[in-house]
Amino acid sequence: MQKLFPAIVSRIRPPKGDVKGTLRGIITQTWYDQFHGVICLVKIIDGTLSKGDRIAMYHGGTVYDVAEVGMLFFLSLSSEILDVLLNIRKMREEDWRLERVNERKNVDPLPGLVTPGRTPREKLSCGQVGYVICGIRVPGEVELGDTFFPINNNKELKKSQYNALINAQKPKVQAWPGFEKIKSMVYAGIYPSSSGDFDELSKALKKLVLTDPSVSCEPEVSISLGAGFRCGFLGTLHMEVFTQRLDQDFEMPVVITSPTTPCTAKLRNGTMVRIAGPSDFPDGSRVEEFFEPWVQATIITPEAYMGDIMNMCEEFRGELVAEGLDFLGQVDLCRRCVGVGGGGVCVCVRAWRMCAAS
């Protein structure tokens, strides 16, 4: 350790940024605390963030007052403290995240468990990573990767006036590159197994979406299933993992409808209608044509599975768009997949539709 830290200081370059410049930072992670609401993990790119500052989100357009800033340090817990924590009901909702450590018989609590703790500070400077508490009570208001900057701290300004102020200041702020709103590709309805658990399901979804911002949730009502949510996912595997986390982390069993992929219908009068489910389909006599989403994919497979994969692509209306196949040897690299090797075949296909049922 005596040699490691000096080597890190001497060999790793310090973060770039202007310490005396205007505040600019990005949201890197969020989580929910039952006492403070949404807590944001941020990285300061330029300037300084202090307690009492008022900040605005570049893409979200929301304004917040900074109630607390600080850094996360690791604290060592003794076995006595762990014994107390392990007896607290619903420990999975606590910051320590001690889940079922002492479930097995004859297993002692983990002595000296290292866990992150919040340490308040007066400010966060350029290059530092820390947490920010702004009293955000609505999970999902803050998007990961969004850039924040300082805004006028006049308490008398109304929200409508702040919107105009943010739009006027945006051209002067250089947003952190790479931010893009995530598009959901597969949609499914999620309903509580019991109609009386709707509020609990709503709270669980809001907390879980904080750690998985790629999921979109909108309330909907079904004639047969009652009140629930229509959720968008990146794919069917993503949907399965999300619902498993609902059951494991929040003990919330749910009913899931068959996943569907949204499409667009062009009516004869020129109107474009988005179709998210079977109930949204317009009368066929009014429709001129349908549009389905495409995805361009690169498939890398051992040569033995080449024929089966080609048949699968044709079954789901796939088109081969590459001029030829790239055979990957032990040394050769595919020109589209640099860094991939080991005796495989690279096939580029363009699928007409992502089939959720598959």
pLDDT in tens, 71-86: 887 555 545 554 554 5
pLDDT for res 44? 93
Identify the residue with better confidence: 66 or 107: 66
User: Which pair of tokens denotes residue 239?
Assistant: 């949907």
Residue at 224: amino acid letter: S
pLDDT for res 107? 35
242 inside domain? yes
pLDDT for res 85? 47
Average pLDDT over residues 232-257: 89
In this structure, the answer to whether residues 151 and 230 fall within a common structural domain is no
In this structure, the answer to whether residues 158 and 18 fall within a common structural domain is yes
Answer whether residue 122 shows pLDDT above 70. Answer: yes
In this structure, the answer to whether residues 73 and 219 fall within a common structural domain is no
In this structure, the answer to whether residues 135 and 42 fall within a common structural domain is yes
220 inside domain? yes
Q: How remote is the C-alpha of 275 from its chain's centroid?
A: 24
CA dihedral 158, 160, 162, 163 (to 10 degrees): 170
Indicate the residue among 232, 255, 278 that finishes a domain.
255
pLDDT for res 76? 52
Identify the residue with better confidence: 225 or 319: 225
Report how many domains make up the chain. 4
102 inside domain? no
Average pLDDT over residues 12-36: 85
Per-residue exposure over 205-222, b if at least 16 CB sit within 10 Å of its own CB, e if not: bebbbbeebebbbeebee
Residue 50: band (very low, low, confident or very high) from pLDDT cuts 50, 70, 90: very high
137 inside domain? yes
Percent of the chain with pLDDT over 90: 13
Domain region containing 340: 295-351
In this structure, the answer to whether residues 126 and 19 fall within a common structural domain is yes
pTM: 0.61
Quote the Cα angle for 91-234-347, to 5°. 135
- The owner of tokens 């997949």 is 337
End-to-end Cα distance, the chain: 51
For the segment 307-321, what is each residue's pLDDT rounded down to a tens digit? 888 888 888 777 777
pLDDT for res 203? 87
Which CATH number goes with the domain that contains 200?
3.30.70.870
In this structure, the answer to whether residues 69 and 165 fall within a common structural domain is yes
What 3 state SS string does the chain have?
A: CCCHHHHHHHHCCCCCCCCCCCCEEEEEEEEEECCCEEEEEEEEEECEEECCCEEEECCCCCEEECCEEEEEEEEEECHHHHHHHHCCCCHHHCCCCCCCCCCCCCCCCCCCEEEEEEEEECEEECCCEEEEEEEECCCCCCCCCCEEEECCCCCCCCHHHHHHHHHHHHHHCCCCCCCCCCCCCEEEEEEECCHHHHHHHHHHHHHHHHHCCCCEEEEEEECCCEEEEEEEECCHHHHHHHHHHHHHHHCCCEEECCCECCEEEEECCCCEEEECCHHHCCCHHHEEEEECCCEEEEEEEEHHHHHHHHHHHHHCCEEECCCCCEECCCCCCCCCCCCCCCCEEEEEEEECCCCCCC
In this structure, the answer to whether residues 132 and 24 fall within a common structural domain is yes
Q: How far apart (Å, rounded) are the C-alpha atoms in residues 29 and 214?
A: 13
Question: Which range is least confidently modeled, 283-287, 307-311, 340-344?
Answer: 340-344
Which CATH number goes with the domain that contains 147?
2.40.30.10
Question: Which range is least confidently modeled, 37-46, 74-83, 161-170?
Answer: 74-83
In this structure, the answer to whether residues 221 and 272 fall within a common structural domain is no
In this structure, the answer to whether residues 24 and 166 fall within a common structural domain is yes
Which range, 85-94, 153-162, 276-285, 326-335, has the best average confidence (pLDDT)? 276-285
In this structure, the answer to whether residues 280 and 300 fall within a common structural domain is no
Average pLDDT over residues 26-54: 89
91 inside domain? no
Q: How far apart (Å, rounded) are the C-alpha atoms in residues 19 and 46?
A: 6
84 inside domain? no
231 inside domain? yes
In this structure, the answer to whether residues 31 and 132 fall within a common structural domain is yes
**Mean pLDDT over the full length of the chain:** 75
Residue 251: band (very low, low, confident or very high) from pLDDT cuts 50, 70, 90: confident
Question: Which range is least confidently modeled, 9-13, 50-54, 109-113, 316-320?
Answer: 109-113
112 inside domain? no
In this structure, the answer to whether residues 152 and 271 fall within a common structural domain is no
Q: How far apart (Å, rounded) are the C-alpha atoms in residues 181 and 173?
A: 19
Indicate the residue among 255, 281, 314 that finishes a domain.
255
